[in-house]
Chain A
């Protein structure tokens, strides 16, 4: 036995600050990876439904997003953040929210804006105020309003259509403007007109449940948003006496509601920090979607609602911070002695 501090074959000991134990299942990369995994069924459904259009838009979005991230990181003299997966998520979410036949240059421009202005201009990962994919989509909506509202039926549709895809109305637009109501069946499988990834409720819920189970997104945001929308939808049903209404389940499964609730509203960066705040955000966004759908000129409002929710997130944070156990620190209070005793 020796008490000498220097043993020759001793391994090098490092100094570090506590804690020395971390949750191995909780890393940024793993969270991003889980989101991407969760997006797989959504992308697969969009390819099955819209075939070449889906492949084209997804590939374009991914390529332009990577290029933009690389160039802007270089310009900002920052380390390349391509490997954290966040830019891939932005690209795929944007692609899933675009109409199938959006012209190539519009897709590229929207992706560039999403990554360069939506994300990097604010300082990159973790610093953006607004959901980058929704920024890109809002930009396209402002620049190409007609192209952004040209919809086609999926390739799987058995409704006869000309070889050159003929424009079709989304279920929400059909309900709003021509009082035609789509059955629940096509809404679940996605066999309706709409953005690439928003039509298939089954695929979205499948992937979304994985995302929530893996804690890559907080379930309170999803449940809150669906609850907020449900309140609106049920209120409409009651007010209209149950007549000529689109119905509660149809509202939840049509348009961007599910894609928004599971994938867009669950972005941690642009949503409130505390559990209470995330409840508020979810319910707020869900309710705003229904206000837009029922009262505004647009048939759909998920994008606007999410962006509005992002904008009020700092305020929600201000209001919903938890109170410290034992009350706030009193000025000049002597620091407590003894921790584990």
Chain B
């Protein structure tokens, strides 16, 4: 039921339930993408993707060029190549904390000063995403070449999960991809990196999506975008004007519209089976930034070396949308944005709904880091936790139709059977339940702990 439809409002594609958190995007949505000046050092983790870490392919003191391969994906398994994001000298291997709290080996590179002594690389955004994308080159690209280019360039999903993109594109005749769904929703509050990319470089996104469509054999491309980004929708429509297989569709602004299990029902009125993949419905989902990276990889030979990061929140002095070399530390990025404000309390990799707190600012920006949100004391909720008052708001808000209070309670007391009966594994941890909870129960935390416990008990039962 949608009240707006009763009052003559436009009824946009939507999914059931979900929440409307304050968007806070005005901090950065009108700020054009700036390029971060070359940092003094970058530390490029070998694990930035779902799957196994890449293997180091360089030695200390070796000179590397921008876009040169420095980590090779492990053969046979899920993995991705890693490339130098600056031209410079490799330093001794170190370990860095990853934004998600894990640790990874990383290759530090000290950038070489360019000939005139400056660290200029201002044209990099233009080089990666700008300019013309000749139609004859798009037409000439063969599916197998596109796949190889994407695979070589180490492209992974830039929406957060960092799943290797070539794996998604490699389809079999038994499980064909009918539709390529390009995700420009960016439903996380505060974040505007995808919005800016769509507004400033729509041609790169359209080109990348068309190349990916070709590679996986899909019949059409649908680009879904939330209704709070009308400029981006217009820019993309204009860029895709002469592409018969490319459609821009505006969807309702609601969290978590950007989750594929919400976006697919909204656009196609079909549900992704629990435990299954969009591929089961013949759909492949791509983030807009991933699509832009595909274009650069296939037509210009650029590896995944940079990404647009929104640096935002009340805890950072001057919020920005920044094009950052992969491996740049959070500290460097935040310092360029004026540094932390005195009342900064939490630094998040990502947005406030699903982002991870980062306490060690030496953590590097990775391929999956779409934003650095710094929350000030005023932006953090201080309401005290009470007992569950069984109001059911978590159920009313859950976009997956689960009963978070029941899962969380079962997980809390260690009853995995009951937690599974309430569909523990189906939870996508979007945080709608905890956002709504008046008792401030850390529902997602309990559910996550329950999943860890479940995985442990399953490995034990398999080995024992």
| A positions within 8 Å CB-CB of B | 1-5, 7, 10-24, 26-31, 84, 124-127, 218, 268-275, 277-278, 321-330, 333-341
Contact (Cβ within 8 A) B403 A325? no
Contact mask for chain B residues 386-398; partner A; CB cutoff 8 A; 1 contact, 0 none: 1111111101101
When C-beta atoms are compared, the residue in chain B nearest to A9 turns out to be B342
- Give residues of chain B (364-410) contacting chain A, Cβ–Cβ below 8 Å: 373, 375, 379-381, 383-384, 386-393, 395-396, 398-403, 405-406
Partner of A21, one of B160, B329, B352, B389: B352
User: How far apart are B275's CB and chain A's nearest CB, in angstroms?
Assistant: 3
User: How far apart are A46's CB and chain B's nearest CB, in angstroms?
Assistant: 26
- When distances are taken between beta carbons in the complex, the residues of chain B under 8 Å from A20 are 346, 348, 352-353, 355, 357, 373, 375, 380
- Give residues of chain B (263-294) contacting chain A, Cβ–Cβ below 8 Å: 265, 271-277, 285-287, 290
Would you list 24 pairs from A and B whose C-beta atoms are within 8 A, ordered by A residue? A1-B40, A1-B336, A2-B40, A13-B345, A17-B445, A18-B352, A19-B435, A20-B355, A20-B380, A23-B19, A29-B383, A218-B391, A268-B392, A269-B390, A273-B406, A274-B392, A275-B395, A321-B403, A324-B401, A333-B274, A336-B276, A340-B157, A340-B160, A341-B163
- Rounded to whole angstroms, the CA-CA distance of A186 and B401 in the bound complex is 46
Contact (Cβ within 8 A) B161 A2? no
Contact (Cβ within 8 A) A26 B437? yes
Interface pairs A-B: 5 shortest CB-CB: A333-B275, A19-B431, A341-B157, A126-B387, A340-B159
Partner of A26, one of B189, B356, B436: B436
Q: A14-B359, A18-B429, A335-B275 are in contact. Are A27 and B399 (CB under 8 A)?
A: no
Interface size class of B (residues with CB under 8 A): 35 or more
- Rounded to whole angstroms, the CA-CA distance of A329 and B421 in the bound complex is 8
- Rounded to whole angstroms, the CA-CA distance of A277 and B277 in the bound complex is 31
- When distances are taken between beta carbons in the complex, the residues of chain A under 8 Å from B355 are 18, 20
User: How far apart are B224's CB and chain A's nearest CB, in angstroms?
Assistant: 13
- Rounded to whole angstroms, the CA-CA distance of A204 and B45 in the bound complex is 63
Is B66 an interface position by the 8 A CB rule?
no
Q: A4-B362, A20-B380, A274-B403 are in contact. List 16 more A-B contacts (CB 8 A).
A: A1-B336, A2-B40, A11-B340, A11-B344, A15-B359, A18-B355, A27-B440, A218-B392, A273-B405, A273-B406, A326-B426, A329-B275, A337-B277, A339-B159, A340-B161, A341-B183
Is B12 an interface position by the 8 A CB rule?
no
Contact (Cβ within 8 A) B161 A338? yes
Contact (Cβ within 8 A) B261 A325? yes
User: How far apart are B325's CB and chain A's nearest CB, in angstroms?
Assistant: 12
User: How far apart are A205's CB and chain B's nearest CB, in angstroms?
Assistant: 22
Q: A10-B340, A16-B357, A325-B401 are in contact. Are A341 and B159 (CB under 8 A)?
A: yes
The total of interchain contacts (Cβ-Cβ below 8 angstroms) comes to 260
- Rounded to whole angstroms, the CA-CA distance of A3 and B332 in the bound complex is 5
- When distances are taken between beta carbons in the complex, the residues of chain A under 8 Å from B399 are 325
Is B444 an interface position by the 8 A CB rule?
yes
Contact (Cβ within 8 A) A17 B275? no
- Rounded to whole angstroms, the CA-CA distance of A340 and B371 in the bound complex is 14
Contact mask for chain B residues 324-362; partner A; CB cutoff 8 A; 1 contact, 0 none: 000001011001100111111111100011111111111
Is B13 an interface position by the 8 A CB rule?
no
| B positions within 8 Å CB-CB of A | 15-16, 19, 21-22, 37, 39-41, 50, 157-161, 163, 183, 189, 258-261, 265, 271-277, 285-287, 290, 315, 329, 331-332, 335-336, 339-348, 352-362, 373, 375, 379-381, 383-384, 386-393, 395-396, 398-403, 405-406, 420, 423-426, 428-429, 431, 434-440, 442, 444-445, 448
Contact (Cβ within 8 A) B420 A329? yes
Contact (Cβ within 8 A) B259 A3? no
Contact (Cβ within 8 A) B403 A273? yes
- Rounded to whole angstroms, the CA-CA distance of A273 and B390 in the bound complex is 6
- Rounded to whole angstroms, the CA-CA distance of A323 and B391 in the bound complex is 19
- Rounded to whole angstroms, the CA-CA distance of A79 and B265 in the bound complex is 45
- Rounded to whole angstroms, the CA-CA distance of A230 and B358 in the bound complex is 57
- When distances are taken between beta carbons in the complex, the residues of chain B under 8 Å from A333 are 274-276, 425
- When distances are taken between beta carbons in the complex, the residues of chain B under 8 Å from A330 are 274-275
Partner of A323, one of B390, B401, B405: B401
Partner of A328, one of B342, B345, B386, B423: B423
Contact (Cβ within 8 A) A4 B260? no
Contact (Cβ within 8 A) A3 B40? yes
Contact (Cβ within 8 A) A325 B400? yes
Q: A14-B345, A22-B435 are in contact. Are A337 and B401 (CB under 8 A)?
A: no
Contact (Cβ within 8 A) B439 A28? yes
User: How far apart are B436's CB and chain A's nearest CB, in angstroms?
Assistant: 6
- When distances are taken between beta carbons in the complex, the residues of chain A under 8 Å from B159 are 339-341
- When distances are taken between beta carbons in the complex, the residues of chain B under 8 Å from A325 are 15-16, 261, 265, 271, 274, 399-401
Contact (Cβ within 8 A) B353 A18? yes
Contact (Cβ within 8 A) A273 B395? yes
Contact (Cβ within 8 A) A11 B444? no
User: How far apart are B442's CB and chain A's nearest CB, in angstroms?
Assistant: 6
User: How far apart are A129's CB and chain B's nearest CB, in angstroms?
Assistant: 11
- When distances are taken between beta carbons in the complex, the residues of chain B under 8 Å from A24 are 381, 383
Q: A1-B40, A10-B340 are in contact. Are A21 and B435 (CB under 8 A)?
A: yes
Partner of A7, one of B163, B331, B438: B331
- Rounded to whole angstroms, the CA-CA distance of A338 and B405 in the bound complex is 24
- Rounded to whole angstroms, the CA-CA distance of A162 and B345 in the bound complex is 69
User: How far apart are B459's CB and chain A's nearest CB, in angstroms?
Assistant: 13
User: How far apart are B169's CB and chain A's nearest CB, in angstroms?
Assistant: 12
Contact (Cβ within 8 A) B386 A5? no
- Rounded to whole angstroms, the CA-CA distance of A28 and B380 in the bound complex is 17
Q: A18-B353, A324-B274 are in contact. Are A269 and B381 (CB under 8 A)?
A: no
